[in-house]
Every structure is written in structure tokens, then in C-alpha cells.
């Protein structure tokens, strides 16, 4: 609003979304580079053969606004990258935990079946039933856990 009041035209505002989007979308430093280009374009377009205080103050205000916009975009892009990396790390840790849980259930089932071989017929039947229940729990866990393609 201050730029529009100072210059009387909204032309400067048209350059700021480009500065913001280039800082957000492209690689590190592109927002600053876009701000420098926008400042140059704004100075060129507003130059009417005068280099008075109005020209300098208008372009200084735009330069400050463009630099602030570029800085905000750079920080947002860095934060977005950090959040995406944290999400990827979380997904890998959840997959590892699911894998270890399934392995632990399989080991427990194997140990129970091994004990069933060495006991009497009544103990063997009870331990086999326990192993079957553990196997059902492992299958239910496998069906309830998130799959890679279901996200």
C-alpha cells in the first residue's frame, strides 16, 4: 500500500508475487536473485529522466519490500524442506517398527511351537492353540499396518 501511495501506480506490486514464488519454488538463493532483477526492472520502469528524492525513496522502499519478500520465501522453502525430510524419516521409522514387530511375533510363535514339541499332549495342544492365536494376531497386525501404496 505504501508503494502504491508513493508511486501512484500498482506496477511494483506485480513484481512481488514473482519474487515470492521464485524464492519458494526454485533452488536456494533464487528469491534473492529475483528480487535483484525486480529492483532493476522497477528502477528502469520508474525512471523518467529524474533522479530526485521521489525516485530514490520509491525504489528504496521497493527494494526493502522485495528483499523482505525474498527472505520470507527463502525461509518458507527451507522450512518446507525440513518438514518433508521429517515426514520421510517418520515413514521409514514406522516401516522399521512394523517390520520388527512382525519379526518378534514370528519368533514368539516359533518359540511356542518349539516348546509344544517337548511337552505332553495336553501341554502341546494348549501351546499350539496359543501359537495359532499369535499367528492370527500377526496377520491382523499386518492387515492394519499402513502399506506404502495406501497413503
Query: Mind listing the pLDDT tens digit for each residue in 79-111?
Result: 999 999 999 999 999 889 888 888 888 898 888
pLDDT for 10 equals 56
Q: What is the mean pLDDT of residues 23-43?
A: 84
The grid cell for 88 is 520421510
Rounded to 5 degrees, φ, ψ at 26 are -85, -175
Note whether 104 and 133 are same-domain residues.
Answer: yes
Note whether 8 and 73 are same-domain residues.
Answer: yes
Note whether 111 and 138 are same-domain residues.
Answer: yes
Please count the other Cβ atoms lying within 10 Å of the Cβ belonging to residue 84: 10
Note whether 32 and 69 are same-domain residues.
Answer: yes
Domain boundary residue among 82, 101, 118? 82
Per the model's pLDDT, the better-predicted residue between 1 and 91 turns out to be 91
Among 75, 52, 56, smallest CA distance to 64 is for 56
Note whether 58 and 104 are same-domain residues.
Answer: no
Note whether 24 and 61 are same-domain residues.
Answer: yes
- pLDDT by residue (tens digit) across 104-123? 888 988 888 888 888 788 88
The single residue listed with the C-alpha cell 506496477 is 11
Count of domains for the chain = 2
Q: What is the mean pLDDT of residues 7-22?
A: 74
Amino acid at each position: 500500500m505504501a508503494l502504491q501511495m508513493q508511486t501512484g501506480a500498482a506496477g511494483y506490486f506485480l513484481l512481488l508475487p514473482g519474487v515470492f514464488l521464485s524464492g519458494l519454488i526454485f533452488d536456494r538463493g533464487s528469491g534473492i536473485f529475483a528480487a535483484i532483477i525486480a529492483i532493476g526492472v522497477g528502477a528502469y520502469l520508474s525512471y523518467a529522466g529524474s533522479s530526485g528524492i521521489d525516485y530514490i525513496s520509491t525504489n528504496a522502499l521497493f527494494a526493502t519490500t522485495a528483499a523482505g519478500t525474498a527472505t520470507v520465501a527463502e525461509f518458507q522453502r527451507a522450512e518446507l524442506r525440513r518438514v518433508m525430510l521429517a515426514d520421510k524419516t517418520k515413514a521409514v521409522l514406522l516401516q522399521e517398527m512394523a517390520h520388527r514387530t512382525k519379526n518378534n511375533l514370528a519368533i514368539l510363535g516359533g518359540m511356542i511351537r518349539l516348546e509344544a514339541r517337548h511337552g505332553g499332549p495336553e501341554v502341546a495342544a494348549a501351546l499350539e492353540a496359543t501359537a495359532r492365536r499369535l499367528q492370527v494376531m500377526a496377520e491382523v497386525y499386518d492387515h492394519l499396518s499402513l502399506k506404502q501404496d495406501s497413503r
